[in-house]
Structure 1
Amino acid sequence: MSIQHALLTSLLEKPSTGYQLARRFDRSIGHFWQATHQQIYRELRRMAASGWVEVEEKGDDGTRKRKVYHVLAAGRDELQRWVAEPGSSGESNEALMVKLRAEAVLGPIGVRRELERLIRWHEDRLATYRAIEARDFSTDNPTRGQRLQHQVLRKGISAEEDWLGWARETLEAL
């Protein structure tokens, strides 16, 4: 995932100065996507050069000049393109969270298909874990090592069940 897509999402939520954006980013998207303030400013310059955002100079009334960034049509189009693009199998949750926030701002733009694809991927993974459990951990007197290995697998099963529960609830919200 590109930090640019996270920044476009934040700017669509509210046009901001670089400083305001960095602070908002720290309090929201920054919980699942880390970026330094330097990275944010560097990416804002790149996005402006690409025609994705425009910079509005404010503060001509004697106050300190501020640059407020607004998303342009090309930036909106880029975000929509990225959201609709399928990720890799088991795509990171970070990208999915940004895609969901983008959908919240832009309206239905394809996250449903992506979430359905990821649900199928996680269902397959859970089925694989359960098959391994049935095959490898059905003995009555497992060794200590087998019990520990089973606990590792149980953690994977639990994580998949939790993810799928969250994803199905989210699918209903879409």
Structure 2
Amino acid sequence: MSLRIALLGLLDATGPASGYDLAKSFERSLNHVWQAGHTQIYPELVKMAADGLVAVESEGARGRKLYAITPEGASQLRSWLVEREPSSATRSEVALQAFLLPLLDRESAIAVVERIRARFAERLAVLECKPKDTPGFGRYALRLGLTQGHAGLAWADETLAELRGLEPAPAELSGPASAAVDDAVGRD
């Protein structure tokens, strides 16, 4: 997903907004699925205006601009939503640490999983404070985030139980899967 699409979506959902307003909206809502700061948002808005996707609706004191989505921007947003196949490529530091856990001794691995579990719990606590039955913008992403948070906690709890010897470990990898792991971590 691009920052451009996220900005178009916010402008379409909330109406005209300044770069500052959009950055605050990111912090309150989209930050759970897509992060962007002021230093990314302002230059992107300028590019989007040059491309005709947003227009400066008004300019206030100290150069504060209110941006509004244009019909071309709304069309591009709708096309992205309806036609784009979401990327299934995953780039997750949590998943990478989970993959590499066998490289650590038991106590270090437990500490890593406890840290990951704490992050899932923190994120879930934030999401659980949000109104769940509110109709409109963001409710489906909220349910997805809650489901992912609960799944992350379940994974962490199962992994901690296994590392602590409270339940049997699954069979070790063998064959091609084992060779792929050995190649990935440089073992012979």
TM-score normalised by structure 1 residue count: 0.49
TM-score normalised by structure 2 residue count: 0.46
